[in-house]
């Protein structure tokens, strides 16, 4: 297929598969990555510096907007604009305030920001089955939609810039709390002498079934935490969710308690591990039995 020229910056566990899908879909493509070897895997599509990108739409798969700011300061953005860049799409999870600030900065060079954070993890990125929550004007969404659908099966226009980010933070609230629940259940089962694999099978057949259980139970059972999504990124996302809750007057009590557990994962030196490593914090915890308070009525 033909379409707009696309650039991808950041070729990590999410960005590299995204770029691969774009290439297979036939979009004119250029890529950049700080570690050049990852970009070299894309052959002559690789550029040596971000300012060398020549693309109508630039996708940032960097961990956060701070990383984008570091590699694409104003002189780089102006160079992009001079060579035809009209839109930058941020695929990472960030804060609504950072989206606002970046939109203003890009706008001064005539470039429009779209926030389209990804959900589905590295497995979804490889399979091209990501869910994207998009914040954009109707005009911008119409221009980038075809590009986004080349690597995602669910693409929802949530509202203006920033709306996609809010939706993703809601996603992360659910993911983090569910992951803690899975870890707690498997720890409880282990202590009671149940077989973890058997428990997971029966849970997958009932109301407890879900994507988090499917994706993370094996990691927990084998205590093997190779990356899907890192614990450090989970903490970042929960902090952003709490900041948004403070701004909007939402309590978010469970999320704040969940955040404390993930902060302990970082304190244990596991920030670079998959966020399923929260099991290591949970499985070490012990508590005194809660006294019975049965009352005769």
pLDDT greater than 80 at residue 295? no
Question: CA-CA distance, 38 to 140, in Å (whole number)?
Answer: 30
Q: What is the pTM of this model?
A: 0.92
pLDDT for the residue 1 = 54
Question: CA-CA distance, 193 to 198, in Å (whole number)?
Answer: 12
pLDDT for the residue 227 = 79
Other C-beta atoms within 10 Å of 1: how many? 8
| Percent of the chain residues topping a pLDDT of 70 | 96
Question: CA-CA distance, 15 to 61, in Å (whole number)?
Answer: 5
Chain segment 282-291, per-residue pLDDT in tens: 999 776 555 5
Residue 159: strand pairing partners: 135
What is the 3 state secondary structure string of 192-206?
A: CCCCHHHHHHHHHCC
Chain segment 3-62, per-residue pLDDT in tens: 899 999 999 999 999 999 999 999 999 999 999 999 999 999 999 999 999 999 999 999
Contact, 252 vs 237, CB < 8 A?
A: no
Question: CA-CA distance, 137 to 112, in Å (whole number)?
Answer: 9
């Amino acid at each position: 297929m033909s379409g707009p020229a696309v650039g991808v910056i950041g070729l990590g566990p999410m960005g590299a598969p995204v770029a691969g899908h774009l290439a297979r879909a036939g979009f004119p493509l250029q890529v950049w990555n700080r570690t050049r070897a990852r970009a070299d895997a894309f052959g002559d599509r690789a550029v040596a510096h971000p300012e060398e990108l020549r693309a109508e739409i630039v996708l940032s798969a960097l961990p956060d907007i701070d990383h984008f700011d570091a590699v694409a300061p104003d002189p780089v953005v102006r160079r992009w604009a001079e060579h035809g860049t009209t839109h930058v799409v941020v695929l990472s999870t960030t804060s609504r305030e950072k989206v606002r600030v970046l939109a203003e900065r890009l706008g001064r060079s005539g470039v429009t920001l779209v926030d389209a954070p990804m959900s589905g993890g590295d497995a979804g990125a490889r399979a091209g089955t990501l869910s994207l929550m998009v914040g954009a004007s109707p005009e911008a969404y119409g221009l980038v939609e075809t590009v986004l659908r080349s690597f995602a099966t669910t693409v929802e226009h949530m509202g203006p810039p920033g709306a996609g980010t809010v939706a993703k933070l809601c996603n992360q609230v659910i993911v983090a709390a569910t992951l803690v629940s899975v870890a707690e259940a498997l720890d409880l089962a282990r202590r009671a002498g149940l077989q973890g694999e058997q428990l997971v099978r029966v849970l997958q057949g009932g109301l407890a079934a879900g994507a988090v259980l499917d994706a993370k139970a094996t990691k927990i059972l084998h205590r093997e935490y190779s990356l899907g999504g890192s614990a450090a990124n989970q903490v970042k996302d929960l902090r952003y969710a709490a900041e948004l809750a403070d701004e909007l007057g939402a309590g978010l009590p469970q999320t704040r308690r969940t955040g404390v557990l993930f902060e302990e994962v970082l304190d244990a030196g596991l920030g670079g591990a998959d966020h399923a490593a929260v099991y290591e914090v949970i499985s070490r915890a012990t508590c005194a039995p809660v006294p019975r308070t049965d009352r005769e009525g």
